């Protein structure tokens, strides 16, 4: 049943419509649950630190104004905390696209509940968004107070999520920017009249581990990203035209080497390679190459992404079990 559900999700992801990127996207989404969902915090029962660097549309440059390749850097960390019955996490990213930049900081807490063979995490997060706008040139030469000019604004926001994790299956659903904050900037007219709405965003992700052999695990994955413009109650709040879909599969050998392919609808085909180092394969390095196969007119040939992560030892692993002898059992 679980395999059938995941197969359906992957099929839907390959044929549904997509809209432009709204928040940073990462090809290593299967390794970066903390960025997607606050309920992921500590769910693996061990601490994790993950860093990502993404250079999107390498070599692309604006034809008449400042612009070019979007660049994104992210760092996330999470750790289980038995005393609070769950885990805590931190995620930070910096995204630069042409004259726009955003720095995002998320602090998360997840409550863990035993469900069947796995755990269900219920998470909340506090968010700080810092937006910056550079100098824009309006198409009309007359001053336009809706066009931002060299300004910044920051607001607090919030997010929620649920995440299920077992040896075979993981799945998560989350939403952020729940407060739908309004950011204001100085405009070409000199007033703080230019504004941007931090729209609600939602993420659904899932993966299923299939033991192909005793040493090879095959993992199909899927990611659905939704932009939810407008206020709750609006008729088109959950319109499918604002969705983005990704699906892929990777094979992992002895928890040490992995490779995979993925497809982002109407944009790219991705190849992933990686390997683990150090004791217990705790240190992981991954590289992703996106071949931009669709709509190349406003994009470049490729995007590149590097991941480096470290998995802390599970609590109690350093303690050797007591050696018992029947001599004192009488």
Residue 107 β-bridge partners? 90, 126
Domain residues of the chain, as ranges? Answer: 21-311
- Residue-wise pLDDT tens digits, 42-94: 999 999 999 999 998 877 666 656 667 889 999 999 999 999 999 999 999 99
The pLDDT value given to residue 3: 42
Burial label for 330, CB within 10 Å (0-12, 13-18, 19+), is exposed
Q: How does the average pLDDT of the chain come out, rounded?
A: 85
Question: Which structure tokens are listed for 252?
Answer: 């992992």
Give the residue with greater pLDDT, 319 vs 282. Answer: 282
In a 13 Å sphere around the CA of 67, the CA atoms on its Cβ side amount to 13
Q: The whole model's pTM is what?
A: 0.85
Instruction: Assign 305 a pLDDT band (cuts: 50, 70, 90).
Output: very high
Q: Which CATH class is domain 21-311?
A: mainly beta
Q: What's the Cα-to-Cα distance from 221 to each of 168, 195, 272, rounded to whole Å?
A: 12, 37, 13
């Amino acid at each position: 049943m679980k395999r059938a559900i995941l197969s359906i999700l992957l099929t839907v992801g390959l044929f549904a419509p997509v809209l432009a990127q709204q928040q940073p996207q990462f090809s290593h989404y299967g390794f970066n649950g903390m960025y997607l969902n606050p309920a992921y915090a500590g769910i693996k029962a061990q601490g994790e630190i993950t860093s990502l660097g993404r250079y999107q549309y390498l070599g692309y440059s604006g034809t008449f104004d400042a612009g070019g390749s979007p660049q994104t850097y992210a760092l996330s960390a999470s750790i289980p905390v038995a005393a609070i019955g769950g885990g805590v996490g931190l995620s930070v990213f910096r995204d630069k696209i042409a004259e726009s930049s955003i720095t995002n900081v998320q602090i998360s807490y997840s409550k863990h509940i035993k469900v069947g063979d796995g755990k269900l995490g219920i998470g909340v997060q506090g968010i700080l968004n810092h937006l910056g706008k550079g100098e824009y040139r309006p198409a009309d030469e007359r001053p336009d107070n809706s066009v931002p000019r060299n300004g910044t604004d920051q607001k607090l926001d919030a997010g929620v999520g649920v995440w299920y994790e077992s040896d075979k299956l993981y799945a998560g659903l989350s939403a952020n920017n729940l407060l739908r904050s309004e950011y204001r900037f100085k405009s070409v007219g000199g007033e703080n009249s230019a504004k941007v709405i931090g729209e609600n965003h939602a993420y659904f992700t899932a993966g299923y581990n299939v033991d192909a052999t005793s040493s090879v695990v095959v993992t199909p994955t899927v990611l659905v990203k939704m932009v939810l413009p407008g206020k709750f109650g609006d008729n088109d709040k959950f319109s499918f035209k604002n969705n983005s879909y990704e699906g892929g599969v990777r094979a992992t050998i002895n928890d040490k080497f992995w490779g995979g392919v993925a497809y982002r609808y109407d944009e790219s085909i991705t190849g992933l390679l990686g390997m683990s180092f150090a004791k217990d394969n705790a240190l992981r390095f991954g590289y992703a190459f996106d071949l931009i196969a669709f709509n190349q007119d406003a994009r470049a040939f490729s995007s590149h992404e590097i991941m480096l992560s470290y998995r802390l030892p599970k609590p109690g692993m350093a303690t050797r079990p007591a050696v018992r002898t029947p001599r004192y059992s009488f």
